[in-house]
């Protein structure tokens, strides 16, 4: 029997970008010792206080069907959080809860794009972005950024790509680059969205991991709240990756339609997990800073080590849990360097090419092992780059 064209062509017949990661995991399963600097998985689990709250909610009986839009108290907590932190009035009807950020990205594109429409995304991009757009029947169109511009989208390139599109997906702080979009960049994106009548889908799952500058959401720009869908998640801010709690913040009419979509797709998120998410959010910035602290430390370790050599160039790592390293001086592609590093040094990183054409000749390093192991791995990575460039 034939599968649908939509499903069969999620990756457009190309690589899904995960080959190095998959091979590293196979080596680990076979007993090899691999330093994994691949995916954005915290090296510490969900805080015990959150797990205790989850357990109490489950034992208290919140294990049946939960409200499909999300439990009211969690939605209210998020509404208050966004009002306080962005200054944009937000209430419960601006919020829908989803099973993680990835589900939110899919739902947002389903809400913005019809079959055959064009959805823009920035290159480099998180590996699932093009497939998510194809998954709703739309066509992904990459907006190319450049390493020499710090991977900040340029207005002329945005304008050229926007003709005929329906949406633009952005991500700041950015995965894979670690870049935080400058206020001018956000204003340029908003100008282009207004001029071309685009929905902005703003993936802000790393908004609690800002090391330099400040996070600015396009929803905070005057007049843009009715044109912006913000995707958020508990995964990165509270080390709850496996709990699968995300959300979309947006205009009330769009949110009401996305609630209808949830009814016929996910049918909500387990109530005891939502209770734990609400508890975690109410702990405020202190807990978020505790979760973010290791990545802030490791960024400083990386800057110190990388300042001692002149082969690898660090893209400004102002947010998120990643470093984007320009390794073109080695004469290798990002993919070739990553395979070499895995095979010779037993260190797993992600090739830049996994995240689009713009990141070719780069690698992404996740700062997700304890400090000493991270420093040792980065020293070995730098030594290998210097050896290859000689």
List CB contacts of 265: < 8 A, sequence separation 6 or more. Answer: 107
Nearest partner of 104 among 171, 55, 193, 166, judged by Cα: 171
Half-sphere exposure of 381 (CA within 13 A, CB side): 31
DSSP type of residue 345: I
- How is residue 278 written in tokens? 């609400």
Question: Could you read off the pLDDT tens digit of each residue along the chain, which spans 390 residues?
Answer: 999 989 998 988 766 678 999 999 999 999 999 999 999 999 999 999 999 999 999 999 999 999 999 999 999 999 999 999 999 999 999 999 999 999 999 999 999 999 999 999 999 999 999 999 999 999 999 999 999 999 999 999 999 999 999 999 999 999 999 999 999 999 999 999 999 999 999 999 999 999 999 999 999 999 999 999 999 999 999 999 999 999 999 999 999 999 999 999 999 999 999 999 999 999 999 999 999 999 999 999 999 999 999 999 999 999 999 999 999 999 999 999 999 999 999 999 999 999 999 999 999 999 999 999 999 999 999 999 999 998
d(CA 33, CA 11): 31
Calculate helix-pair angle for 72-86, 271-282, nearest 10 degrees. 30
Q: Which domains does the chain have, with CATH numbers?
A: 5-45+286-389 (3.90.1150.10), 48-283 (3.40.640.10)
Nearest partner of 208 among 273, 121, 280, 120, judged by Cα: 280
pLDDT at 16: 67
Nearest partner of 193 among 173, 169, 171, judged by Cα: 169
d(CA 258, CA 69): 9
Beta bridge partners of residue 364, listed in sequence order = 324, 350
């Amino acid at each position: 029997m034939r599968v649908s064209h939509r499903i069969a062509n999620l990756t457009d017949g190309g690589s899904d970008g995960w080959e190095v990661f998959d091979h590293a995991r196979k080596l680990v399963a076979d007993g090899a010792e691999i330093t994994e600097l691949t995916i954005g998985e915290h090296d510490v689990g969900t805080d015990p206080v959150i797990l205790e709250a989850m357990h109490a909610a489950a034992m208290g009986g919140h294990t049946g069907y939960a409200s499909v839009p999300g439990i009211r108290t969690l939605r209210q907590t998020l509404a208050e959080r966004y009002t306080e932190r962005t200054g944009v009035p937000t209430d419960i009807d601006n919020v829908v809860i989803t099973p993680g950020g990835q589900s939110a990205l899919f739902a947002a594109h389903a809400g913005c794009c019809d079959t055959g429409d064009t959805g823009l995304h920035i290159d480099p991009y998180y590996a699932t972005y093009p497939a998510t757009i194809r998954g709703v029947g739309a066509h992904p169109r990459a907006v190319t950024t450049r390493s020499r511009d710090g991977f900040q989208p340029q207005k002329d390139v945005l304008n050229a790509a926007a003709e005929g599109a329906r949406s633009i997906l952005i991500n700041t702080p950015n995965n894979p680059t670690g870049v935080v979009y400058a206020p001018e960049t956000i204003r340029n994106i908003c100008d282009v969205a207004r001029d071309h009548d685009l929905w902005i889908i703003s993936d802000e799952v790393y908004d609690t991991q800002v090391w330099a500058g400040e996070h600015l959401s396009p929803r905070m720009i005057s007049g843009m709240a009715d044109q912006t869908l913000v995707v958020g998640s508990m995964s990165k801010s509270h080390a709850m990756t496996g709990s699968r709690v995300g959300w979309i913040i947006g205009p009330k009419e769009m949110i009401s339609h996305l609630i209808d979509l949830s009814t016929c797709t996910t049918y909500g998120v387990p109530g005891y997990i939502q209770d734990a998410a609400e508890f975690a959010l109410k702990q405020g910035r202190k807990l978020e800073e505790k979760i973010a602290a290791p990545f802030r430390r490791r960024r400083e370790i990386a800057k110190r080590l990388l300042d001692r050599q002149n082969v690898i160039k660090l893209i400004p790592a102002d947010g998120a849990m990643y470093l984007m390293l320009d390794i073109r001086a080695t004469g290798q592609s990002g993919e070739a360097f990553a395979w070499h590093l895995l095979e010779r040094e037993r260190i797993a990183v992600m090739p830049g090419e996994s995240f689009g054409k713009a990141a070719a000749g780069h690698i992404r390093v996740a700062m997700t092992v304890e400090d000493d192991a991270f420093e040792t791995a980065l020293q070995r990575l730098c030594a290998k780059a210097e050896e290859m460039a000689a």
